[in-house]
Amino acid sequence: MDRLKLVVVGGGITGLAAAHRAVELARERAIALDLTLFEARTRLGGTIGTERADGFLVEVGPDSFLSEKPWALALCRRLGVEDRLVRTDDRFRKVFVWRAGRLHPLPDGFQLLAPTKFGPFVTSGLFSWPGKLRMALDLILPRGVSDDESLGAFVRRRLGREALERVAQPLVAGIYTADPDDLSLAATMPRFRELERRDRSVILGLWRAARRAPLDGTSGARWSLFVTFQNGMEELVTTLASRLPPGATLLKQRVDEIERRGGRWRVVSAEGSLIEADRVIVAVESHISGRLLRYVDPALATLLGEIPYASSATVTLGYRRTDVPHPVDGFGFVVPRTEHRALLACTFSSVKYPGRAPEGHVLLRCFVGGALNEGVLELDDATLVARAREELRQALGVTAEPVLTRVSRWAKAMPQYHVGHGGRVEAIERCTAALPGLHLAGGAYRGVGIADCIRSGEAAAERALGVESVVSDRFDRAESP
């Protein structure tokens, strides 16, 4: 083969990471690579986007990535942009839970599902005494037997209903926008399943792990758990795009069909482009991948279409600091489903990261919708803003007009790892293994966060260029984006 023709479909972070890794590898191994990346929209980045308005910096989608998962940080190092990263302001590392009309701080040391520090847990007003005693029962309960149980069933079984309703459900909704009774524990939080298997008790397992190596990822580490870029997440997108060969990226080209002809692939866009390729990386939402591959392998297309997606929206509001009576002394708050609100969560963006609001102002980012409350997305923008403002009035006491308002909608953008997801992904991988030259990547398979998407895109590029993968592509530490 003289030149290797590679087509990447989708210009979100997964497609960009795949294209960039392919270019890197081609350079390192002296492979003559001819790359084309198709992106349907007018801009690259997919759900990642940053806007600047009136001195505010607004993230329309993700606001950070997890440094604990190494792939995003490693990419930043290779791109030479590690010095552009900023850490969270850990003086305000508190998260609140909105319950019964008040914001309660999540007890210090509470790790997603269970407490790890005795004092803050017993004195917390977030849980009732029966609820606390039920959580402590985890210390003596025997191991469970289920292989792929839902996250909701696991938390109810080990720690009780209160732990699920008041913490696990709202925290998980803030990450996966999902119903914990549908989510697969094995696919989303395998660490907790392993803790039960190894230590029997989740609380004991977390204590022991914290003694061995602090899990908060901050002690001694250069980076906080979540990091972002000085000028917002879009910096990652523009940096990656600038490293691709000139002319490789085709915007406003919606791929309509992928066909297999002999040993090669034909990628056809709705706008009339047709490119023949040796290798194709499909890095779009899996329901779209399924449609594109419907004639290549109908069984694969069905499996891809079966991965459900949830819709969500962000409502970002900027206020004068003096108009917000609450001290906003935390990263934000989450809202349990049992509170029957439109908000899933609210991030105090200008407290969490520097440079998000002009002097004397605060930026609050509300997250609405998700698998448990998609109906709210039928509201028009003005009504959605009014709902968010009313709930912020109740939570933070803010009644003033915001000085900035932005609504970003994300239809069917968040994959849901339901019980059985692991088996479905393995079946998808078996199908693609029988289609030489075709590679799937993205948040639909083995991790929904940006770091996971980078790993998935880079692993696909390595497979496409026939290079032994250096990144493991399993469900390890996939617990949060």
Ligand X SMILES: Cc1cc2nc3c(=O)[nH]c(=O)nc-3n(C[C@H](O)[C@H](O)[C@H](O)COP(=O)(O)OP(=O)(O)OC[C@H]3O[C@@H](n4cnc5c(N)ncnc54)[C@H](O)[C@@H]3O)c2cc1C
Note the helical H segments in 137-243: 151-159, 161-163, 169-176, 185-188, 190-199, 202-212, 234-242
Residue list 272-301, contact with ligand X (CB under 6 A): 283-285, 288
Beta strands 50-53 and 56-59: pairing type? antiparallel
- CA gap 124, 155 in Å, rounded: 19
4, 33, 38, 203: residue in contact with ligand X (rule CB under 6 A)? 38
| Site pattern 439..468 for ligand X (x: CB under 6 A) | ---xx----xxx--x---------------
- Which helix H or strand E contains 346, and what residues bound it? strand 343-348
Q: Which tokens belong to 190?
A: 């395998």
Contact between 224 and ligand X (CB under 6 A)?
Answer: no
Q: Please state the closest distance from residue 292 (CB atom) to ligand X, in A.
A: 6
Classified as helix, coil or strand, 334 is strand
Contact between 339 and ligand X (CB under 6 A)?
Answer: no
Q: What is the 3-state secondary structure (H, E, C) of 13-57?
A: HHHHHHHHHHHHHHHHHCCCEEEEEECCCCCCECCCCEEEECCEE
- The structure tokens 């293994």 sit at 433
| Nearest by Cα to 88 from 319, 332, 392 | 332
- Angle in degrees, CA 32, 34, 35, rounded to 5: 135
10, 308, 336, 370: residue in contact with ligand X (rule CB under 6 A)? 10
- Burial (0-12, 13-18, 19+ Cβ within 10 Å), 181: middle
- The residue length of the chain stands at 481
Residue closer to ligand X by CB (options 204, 258) is: 258
Query: Binding-site residue total for ligand X (CB under 6 A)?
Result: 37
- The structure tokens 């917000």 sit at 324
Contact between 136 and ligand X (CB under 6 A)?
Answer: no
Residue list 47-86, contact with ligand X (CB under 6 A): 47-48, 61-65
Q: Candidates 13-21, 73-81, 147-155, 391-399: pick the segment binding ligand X (CB under 6 A).
A: 13-21
Q: Please state the closest distance from residue 50 (CB atom) to ligand X, in A.
A: 12
Q: Candidates 122-130, 166-174, 302-310, 407-415: pick the segment binding ligand X (CB under 6 A).
A: 407-415
Residue closer to ligand X by CB (options 201, 349) is: 349
- CA gap 16, 457 in Å, rounded: 8
324, 376, 414, 440: residue in contact with ligand X (rule CB under 6 A)? 414
Residue closer to ligand X by CB (options 280, 448) is: 448
Contact between 174 and ligand X (CB under 6 A)?
Answer: no
Q: Please state the closest distance from residue 27 (CB atom) to ligand X, in A.
A: 23
404 strand-pairing partners: 318
Contact between 479 and ligand X (CB under 6 A)?
Answer: no
Classified as helix, coil or strand, 402 is coil
50, 124, 314, 416: residue in contact with ligand X (rule CB under 6 A)? 314
Residue closer to ligand X by CB (options 137, 270) is: 270
255, 346, 377, 385: residue in contact with ligand X (rule CB under 6 A)? 255
21, 24, 39, 73: residue in contact with ligand X (rule CB under 6 A)? 39
Contact between 362 and ligand X (CB under 6 A)?
Answer: no
Residue closer to ligand X by CB (options 15, 330) is: 15
CB 246: neighbour CB atoms within 10 A?
5
Residues within the interface to ligand X (CB under 6 A): 9-15, 38-41, 46-48, 61-65, 254-255, 283-285, 288, 312, 314, 410, 413-414, 442-443, 448-450, 453, 481
